Structure 1
Amino acid sequence: MAAADGGVEGGGAWCCVFSPGLAKCLASVAGDGRIRVWDTQSGDLRHEYVPSSHLSATCSCLSWAAARRLHQEVPQKKKRRSEKEDEELDLLAIGTAVGSILLYSIVKGELQRKLSGGHNGKVNCVRWHQENDRLYSCSDDKHIVEWSVSTGKVKCKWKAEKGSISYLCLSPDGQMLLSAGRGITLWNLETKEVYRKFTGHATAVSSLAFATVRPPNDSQPSDEITGLYFLSGAVHDRLLNVWQVRSDRKDKNAVLSFVLTDAPVYVDLATSGDREDPVKLAVVCQDGQLHLFEHILNGYCKKPLLPTCTLQIATSGKGNEVRPVPILAAVFCSGSQSVLIAYNTLLHPVIERVTLNTNESQICLVRDTEMTVSLSMETAVTKVKTPVVARDVKVLVPGIPGHNATMKSTLMQSRKTEAKRKDSANEFTIEERLSAMDIDAMEVKHKGGFPQADNFAVLLVQGLESNDASILNKVLQIKKDALVKTTIARLPVTAVVPLLHEITRRLQSHPYRALLMVRWLKAVFTQHASFLSTLPDLVPQLGMLHQMMESRVKTLQKLSRLHGKLYLLSAQVAASKRAQDASTVIQSPKLVYAEASSEDENSEHELMEDQESDENWENEIEESVDDPKMHIDKEVSEDSGEDLHTESESEKE
């Protein structure tokens, strides 16, 4: 009973899983997107399947269907023994990153059905029901989907968590379902209701498995299950917790913990069905070690348990150098006295059966993996003729990193020997070069100025060889395209592949650095395309980079559509707001004030006084015409005026 049935740790497309039952096959998927099925007895490759658009819809999880038995009552056609054995192991469910599920037939060697329309996010886990007609899957979209395999349609879909669901596990009787994101929930499959919740882990759960089987004579209903145990492991967690399903529904914490050296990636259990017998546990950790545990589950245990045995694989290299080989998966064989392990790489796994010896706490098996892989894989043999080279002929080969790594530039060749001697006396150290490369300060600290492209190439090779982050950060922060092209042109071919690995790592860890890293990628592929095309293992080395670039480019169209929709919505909201503001403005003014000048006021005042004096004069004239006294006074005034005039003339004389 495999707990880590094809779960993908960390979300990357790297997983492998043994087939149920006798573990006759091993299914694996690597970074190149190809799904390979290996025969565990002979170690040969039986099937290789490449999904359409596999680089954009990468495989996220794998799950084998239960072994299908042949019906001997009504045989349609007499079949050979090999055909009967192949027919027992039929379907392999493949979850993808786009939300669809592929059903691959091992017997026919082709894709049998595609299940789509249930998820709109990456499928994190797929689980087969015992009947093989139902399939359960979980995704980042917070939903669990129950599929009908015969029709290929969704039977039921319900929301299980507030966040992403990373793992599923079915109970041995097929009545309960465990789902986990960070917390763990136990579901009743008939009613789709929550039976129990557990605290879970601080990070996403990466493995789940039931550790005990419900007794067949247990007459309790499904809502009163008690005494069941299950295991759970999480990403970046070095503990494998054991939980107990109690009837009182009070204790939600783990009752037992197994200590590991790293996060679990594959878990297998061996149980006898009797609660008094110990449970055997095989856990493969992310560091490539296999830990074996043996314990009787009888309630709470305060002290964490250490492994009874730890198994490692190593290979001897040059100069008696021992190099560890990671273990990918492990399952118990019949009788639980031996373990079937798969180690090396997912592209070329080596499958071996190891007999258990629990008396030794540490076991290290030395294997020559290169020799084993070369014998198991069929390679084409070509005739090679060694050329005859004279003694006085010099052979030019690419430089080795750290030993004459850079090639001389044309500028350096054109300099005179005397200038070279003068420059050699003032040669900068690496620390001085790094300080002079501080682009933010932009200060020339030395007479020679900033380092040229040759120095950048030397620093880049030294940084790749020593894995010095400070040197790599300084060099890879260059923003001038001409300087980047010149540096790549001076780079030796032996440093091209390490540079691509460093760029891929930076793109994965810091996506916002894509603007800088794309310039280096473009320059590398432009300058060294001919060298990269000659590499025999180019696909596995650049598969992750190609997959990452394809997935990012695919989202550009969706992002542009979303940007357009958001722009339209914001424009409509702004227009409606402006319309509302314009409708509330009062068109007629409440008060108008006009300021007049002082000259206009004086003219208006004089005009009004003139009009009043004219009116008074006219009134006086009318009154004098009517009154005779006024005429007499007028005449007297005229006579007096003449007398005054004569007097003034006499005075003058």
Structure 2
Amino acid sequence: MVCKTEASTGMILRTFSAFSKAISSLCVSSDGKMLAMAAGQLKPFSCYDNKKMQKFSGHPVGVRCMAFTEDGSYILTSGVGERHIAIWKTGLADQNQGANCVLSMNHPAIFIDSKTETGIGSDQKRFYILAVSEPGLCYFWYGADITDLRDKKPPKVSAARVSKGDLGIFGARIQGVVKEASGHMVATYSSLVKPCFERVSRCYGVDVRLEPAQVEALLPMLDHSVSQKSRDVKTQVTALNRTNAEDAILPLPKLYAPGKKRKHDGLTD
């Protein structure tokens, strides 16, 4: 089932059934006119009347990540465990249509982003596609059109891993296009506790390796033994660096303050 809710109140506005199986992924076009959903098979719907617009052959597995191109003319998808990205053309009348293009990767994708650009004095659109893989590599494709993407070998953006807990790149976005085949992207990498955010200038055909910054992050450390009034006056600060950040994401045991009444007073520890 698909539910449309009011964001401010959480009230359900409408529901409709899209598949007989569980939906694994969905996305909305940038103009808000189309809603694409996948449960192995891929279907775009109209956001106005919830009617199915097309039906694609889809993937033999559940779709992990999905995105519309900026102009809504194509849908990008990648299935669980699949080492490629499929590109599907929207707006065609053919039913059970196959993929228009497949972009190969060395590992499965966990995130997809894209940007389109129209050349000056021309209606032809250029495509910029970004994908983040499971090991933390960022792939970047550029093509003068969709067919041009098929034969392109994508350059990669990687991140150095300084400590054992580093994850490589786990998030990225295409920020803008500077000139043909070049643009800016923002990458997130290193640790979940202390992520690094870096703006990278991408020139197609050149691999890039990011080095984590060595600047420490300052986090407040509160003393729970003092009152709230005193706590507002005195605040200690500790530096969170790579030597003590690896265990910061572990769950902390629940502590009971002295004198606080516990639920099971009759039990002894």
**TM-score normalised over the length of structure 2:** 0.73
Is residue 190–residue 212 contact of structure 2 (8 Å, CA) maintained in 1? Answer: no
Alignment partner, residue 255 of structure 1: 100
Alignment partner, residue 69 of structure 2: 211
Separation of aligned partners in 2, 1:357 and 1:168: 31
- 1:149 deviates by 2.6
Letter in 1 for 2:194: H
Separation of aligned partners in 2, 1:341 and 1:537: 21
Letter in 2 for 1:312: S
Separation of aligned partners in 2, 1:359 and 1:537: 35
Is residue 218–residue 238 contact of structure 2 (8 Å, CA) maintained in 1? Answer: no
Alignment partner, residue 329 of structure 1: 171
Alignment partner, residue 131 of structure 2: 283
- 1:288 deviates by 0.2
Letter in 2 for 1:357: C
Alignment partner, residue 265 of structure 2: none
Alignment partner, residue 111 of structure 2: 266
Of 235, 242, 256 in structure 1, the residue corresponding to residue 87 of structure 2 is 242
Separation of aligned partners in 1, 2:71 and 2:16: 27
Is residue 83–residue 105 contact of structure 2 (8 Å, CA) maintained in 1? Answer: yes
- 1:328 deviates by 1.2
Separation of aligned partners in 2, 1:150 and 1:184: 30
SS of 1:173's equivalent?
A: coil
Please list, as runs of the form range in 1=range in 2, the aligned pairs for 1:414-429 lying within 5 A after superposition: none
1:447-487 deviation per Cα after TM superposition (whole angstroms, max 9, x unaligned): xxxxxxxxxxxxxxxxxxxxxxxxxxxxxxxxxxxxxxxxx
1:379-421 deviation per Cα after TM superposition (whole angstroms, max 9, x unaligned): 537xxxxxxxxxxxxxxxxxxxxxxxxxxxxxxxxxxxxxxxx
For the pair 1:377 / 2:218, whether they are aligned, the reply is yes
- 1:256 deviates by 0.2
- 1:272 deviates by 2.1
Cα pair distance change 1:538/1:348, threshold 3 Å: closer
More relative contact order in 1 or in 2 (CA 8 Å, sep 6+)?
2
- 1:152 deviates by 2.6
Is residue 212–residue 230 contact of structure 1 (8 Å, CA) maintained in 2? Answer: no
Alignment partner, residue 176 of structure 1: 34
- 1:307 deviates by 3.7
1:257-308 deviation per Cα after TM superposition (whole angstroms, max 9, x unaligned): 111121111222121256513111111111100111001335x68x944543
- 1:177 deviates by 0.9
**TM-score normalised over the length of structure 1:** 0.32
Alignment partner, residue 262 of structure 2: none
Of 280, 298, 310 in structure 1, the residue corresponding to residue 156 of structure 2 is 310
Separation of aligned partners in 1, 2:171 and 2:153: 17
Separation of aligned partners in 1, 2:190 and 2:169: 7
SS of 1:198's equivalent?
A: coil
SS of 2:52's equivalent?
A: strand
For the pair 1:338 / 2:184, whether they are aligned, the reply is yes
Cα pair distance change 1:187/1:250, threshold 3 Å: closer
Of 145, 148, 157 in structure 1, the residue corresponding to residue 15 of structure 2 is 157
Alignment partner, residue 230 of structure 2: none
Separation of aligned partners in 2, 1:162 and 1:536: 45
Is residue 175–residue 190 contact of structure 1 (8 Å, CA) maintained in 2? Answer: yes
Is residue 203–residue 235 contact of structure 1 (8 Å, CA) maintained in 2? Answer: yes
Letter in 2 for 1:377: L
Alignment partner, residue 167 of structure 1: 25
- 1:246 deviates by 4.7
For the pair 1:540 / 2:239, whether they are aligned, the reply is no
Is residue 262–residue 287 contact of structure 1 (8 Å, CA) maintained in 2? Answer: yes
Structure with greater helix percent: 1
Separation of aligned partners in 2, 1:169 and 1:338: 24
Cα pair distance change 1:344/1:324, threshold 3 Å: closer
For the pair 1:296 / 2:144, whether they are aligned, the reply is yes
SS of 1:333's equivalent?
A: strand
Of the two, which has the highest radius of gyration?
Answer: 1
Cα pair distance change 1:335/1:538, threshold 3 Å: closer
SS of 1:334's equivalent?
A: strand
Cα pair distance change 1:363/1:335, threshold 3 Å: closer
Separation of aligned partners in 2, 1:536 and 1:190: 48
Alignment partner, residue 197 of structure 2: 351
SS of 1:541's equivalent?
A: coil
- 1:359 deviates by 3.9
Cα pair distance change 1:259/1:323, threshold 3 Å: farther
Separation of aligned partners in 2, 1:186 and 1:536: 43
Separation of aligned partners in 1, 2:110 and 2:84: 12
Is residue 213–residue 273 contact of structure 1 (8 Å, CA) maintained in 2? Answer: no
Is residue 41–residue 58 contact of structure 2 (8 Å, CA) maintained in 1? Answer: yes
Is residue 174–residue 184 contact of structure 2 (8 Å, CA) maintained in 1? Answer: yes
- 1:165 deviates by 0.8
- 1:245 deviates by 2.4
Separation of aligned partners in 1, 2:99 and 2:66: 13
Cα pair distance change 1:536/1:146, threshold 3 Å: closer
For the pair 1:185 / 2:51, whether they are aligned, the reply is no
For the aligned residues, what is the CA RMSD?
A: 3.0
Separation of aligned partners in 2, 1:346 and 1:200: 33
Is residue 333–residue 340 contact of structure 1 (8 Å, CA) maintained in 2? Answer: yes
Is residue 64–residue 80 contact of structure 2 (8 Å, CA) maintained in 1? Answer: yes
Is residue 45–residue 53 contact of structure 2 (8 Å, CA) maintained in 1? Answer: yes
Cα pair distance change 1:359/1:197, threshold 3 Å: closer
Separation of aligned partners in 1, 2:185 and 2:130: 9
Letter in 2 for 1:330: A
Q: How many residues align?
A: 225
Is residue 196–residue 212 contact of structure 2 (8 Å, CA) maintained in 1? Answer: no
Separation of aligned partners in 2, 1:173 and 1:537: 41
Separation of aligned partners in 1, 2:165 and 2:3: 44
SS of 1:149's equivalent?
A: coil
- 1:329 deviates by 0.9
Letter in 2 for 1:205: V
- 1:539 deviates by 6.0
Is residue 314–residue 323 contact of structure 1 (8 Å, CA) maintained in 2? Answer: no
